[in-house]
Amino acid sequence: MKKVFRFILLAILAIALTACAGEKDNSSETTGNKKLIVGASAVPHAEVLEAAKPLLKEKGIDLEVQVFQDYILPNVTLRDKDLDANYFQTPGYLAMQMEENKDFDFVSVGDIHKEPIGIYSKNYKSLKDLPNGAKIIMSDSLSDHGRILPIFEKEGLIKLKEGVGANARVEDIVENPKNLDFSTLIEAKLLATSFESGEGDAVVINTNYALEGNVDIGKYGIAFEGDDVVPANLVVVRSEDKDREEIKALVEVLKSKEIQDFIREKYKGAVVTVSE
């Protein structure tokens, strides 16, 4: 009988421990501070978050940064509640992802910085120097196409359908006098590698991947988005968490003078603060 009682007692204890382990603990074991887990692209987002850690610690928050190498997993991981927030995407990309994934119930809680998309070439100094039939390599992310193609239109190399604006696609090109060949088959994270390998006459690279890939922006950048049209990079959370005090503190710190100055000084104009 004693053995049976002991077995039941151990079983109850095991169930209780399992239940406790299943509860998400938002406090840090070592400091007693609240814990915040934020997913981010490596550069510049994770670097900015690392700079924000001491400021958040002063507010009683221990920040953990999870670095992602693509644009898909940060939103999936946020949906699955393994992140409290992510910091890597623009409004256009967020809208597209929420349209394609009906279980993404997200909201932006703050715009932090801007990253002008750049066009890079090792052989030509400007877009107008590109030869007939030049191959232009750009990402397979449709949300980027509406940012990239207007750069070419502004320089007079192509003409887009009237009114397509930020929704422009390669199929919307109605005039292409130089017969530029726009290749859209490469993932954004591989663009810097394509550029360094000498692929194409010009490669369009997202600034975060240009920085991460050590592309010399000043030397090889031949055209960029205008500052007036560059979308902001956002801090995004699940809608249910938008009013959490830790989230508000995160945005407050990222928008602080200390962090905005850090962005200006570290990236020398390759990354632009929201106030500029």
Domain positions in the chain are 24-114+231-273, 118-224
One fold for both 24-114+231-273 and 118-224?
A: yes
Over its length of 276 residues, how does the chain's per-residue pLDDT go in tens digits? Answer: 444 444 444 444 444 434 444 344 565 555 688 999 999 999 999 999 999 999 999 999 999 999 999 999 999 999 999 999 999 999 999 999 999 999 999 999 999 999 999 999 999 999 999 999 999 999 999 989 999 999 999 999 999 999 998 899 999 999 999 999 999 999 999 999 999 999 999 999 999 999 999 999 999 999 999 877 899 999 999 999 999 999 999 999 999 999 999 999 999 889 999 875
Q: Report how far residue 44's alpha carbon sits from residue 207's, in angstroms, rounded to the nearest whole number.
A: 9
Q: Which CATH number fits domain 24-114+231-273: 3.40.190.10, 3.40.50.2300, 3.40.1260.10, 3.40.50.300?
A: 3.40.190.10
Instruction: Rounding to the nearest 10 degrees, give the CA dihedral for residues 21, 39, 92, 121.
Output: -150
CATH of segment(s) 118-224 = 3.40.190.10
**Which residues on adjacent β-strands are paired with residue 203?**
120, 137
Q: Is the peptide bond before 44 cis (omega within 30 degrees of 0)?
A: yes
User: In terms of Cα–Cα distance, which of 48, 213, 50 is closest to 120?
Assistant: 213
DSSP 151-171: HHHHTTS-EEPTT-GGG--GG
What sections of the chain are H helices per DSSP?
2-22, 47-57, 73-79, 91-100, 142-154, 191-196, 207-212, 217-220, 245-254, 257-267
3-state SS class at 117:
coil
User: What are the structure tokens assigned to 152, written together?
Assistant: 């070419």
Q: Label residue 138 left, alpha or beta by phi (over 0 means left) and psi (-120 to 50 means alpha).
A: beta
Q: 244-272: buried (b, 16+ CB within 10 Å) or exposed (e) per residue?
A: bebbebbbebbbeeebbebbbeebeebbb
Say which residues have a Cβ less than 8 Å from residue 257's Cβ, sequence separation at least 6.
none
Gap between the Cα atoms of 19 and 122, Å rounded: 59
